[in-house]
Amino acid sequence: MNADLSVYLVTDSRLAAAAGHDLVELVLAAVEGGATAVQVREKDAPAREFLATVTRLGRAVPEEVALLVNDRVDVFLAARGSGARVSGVHVGQSDLPVAAVREMIGPDALLGLSASTPEQLREAAAHPSRVDYVGIGALHPTTTKRDAPAALGHDEFARLVAVGDLPAVGIGGVTEADLPRMRAAGAAGAAVVSAICSAPDPAVAARRLRAAWGASS
């Protein structure tokens, strides 16, 4: 996997709107500031609206920034079919099975999987359909994901990162202050929602996150 997951933005249009931002403009500002990957996660958006957002982003986000679709393999396929650049899909434990997702998206697309237990991480690492990275959470209590598991804390997060050999990103209430410890634990990146979507200036927020990740090297 060649994607840089270090500063990984997960979108939330509700938070973005509350902070006065258009979602696409927020993503582009965050990328300008240093976000290296973007997952479009719009749980409550109708399929047509979700597709329109992904398509707009796929035509605007620089090629070096991975652009992933949360859960909706159909939206990923429709966006790709329209000519928009999309990198892959991120799914959870209760979504379509990994084997089915991989068959639909093909061998060249990125496939991320949420995991929160050693068993789930070992299964992901050994899966014959190739999971490219795992999302481990929730690091802290979070309100941006209704079905988020219990908060892990940094020590348990570090133990989980060490399970298996897949690149891992941490998510769940992540702030700038968490990034040095996450990187020291061996994480490939930090996934943030509120830290950018609720920020007055998404570019500045992303720049600070990028600096915090780099400062921990």
Which residues are catalytic, by number?
A: 41, 114, 145
Cα distances (angstroms) measured from residue 111 to each of 45, 136, 163, 172, 213: 22, 14, 18, 20, 23
CA distance 57 to 61: 6
Nearest to 96 by CA among 109, 113, 80, 110: 113
CA distance 171 to 183: 13
